Amino acid sequence: MGNGLVKDIWVLSKRSVLTTLRSPFSFIPNLLISTFFLLVYDSGLSGISQLPAFDGANYLAFILPVSVVSAAIGGAGGAGQGIVKDIENGFFSRLLLTPASRLSIVLGPIIAGMLQLFVQTILILIVAFLMGLEVATGFLGVLVVLLLAVGWGLAFAGYSAGIALKTKNAQAAQAGTLIFFPLIFLSTTFVPYELIESSWLKVAATINPTTYIFESMRTVLIDGWKFWGIAKGIIAIMIACAITITFAALSAKKAVSRG
């Protein structure tokens, strides 16, 4: 009786996806807001791209990463929300009482969260293309943007799952995600680094990992295959994932260990 790890993960991820689809209000607002960013900022701010620092780049391509990253953070938050819901309605305990591997019980909601943000990112990219997006690196570049979004989302999913398992409280999990929302705006959100005037925002943008994600995506979208520009974001993702996944694993261990 019982399954291997892979089948456990498969079965439990499928169920998390189904649960997510059954409550569309858990992801539709996030998707709408992210698309809204794209439409409003592009039509409202695209004049800035006439400035010389933009080098004639298309503002749509510049602002697209903001929309993608905000969708990713919201989508990743869904992983924590899912876990908290399971704990609250007793389903988490029911799973713990089965022979299912403990890892799969925690990974199910995280994988569903990743899938959710993967689909969201594709939808946003489609909207962007409909708005006239041009990508310097073509289709492969779009894939890189997708992977960066998923990677950054995974870091957040680890964080939100960790908070969920630690607090077992829906509000705390939600608030934990919201705290990081401002990170999107304390960065090179609307203008390139050279155009940021206030010095504190420059400092914030430098230490904010989101800046490097934006930079990676913009490099791919606007500048082409430039190794260092792209690598910065990947490094930021790896560091963030290492931290948050460790945090999630430790909280998970505590939550499923029988203290």
Which spans of this chain sit near another protein (rule: CB under 8 A)? 1-3, 8, 11-12, 15, 18-19, 22-23, 86, 89-100, 257-259
Q: Nearer to another protein by C-beta: 15 or 226? A: 15
Q: Nearer to another protein by C-beta: 98 or 246? A: 98
- Minimum distance, C-beta of residue 88 to another protein, in the bound complex (Å): 10
- Minimum distance, C-beta of residue 258 to another protein, in the bound complex (Å): 4
Residues making up the chain, counted from first to last:
259
Q: Nearer to another protein by C-beta: 109 or 233? A: 109
- Minimum distance, C-beta of residue 89 to another protein, in the bound complex (Å): 6
Q: Nearer to another protein by C-beta: 11 or 53? A: 11
- Minimum distance, C-beta of residue 25 to another protein, in the bound complex (Å): 12
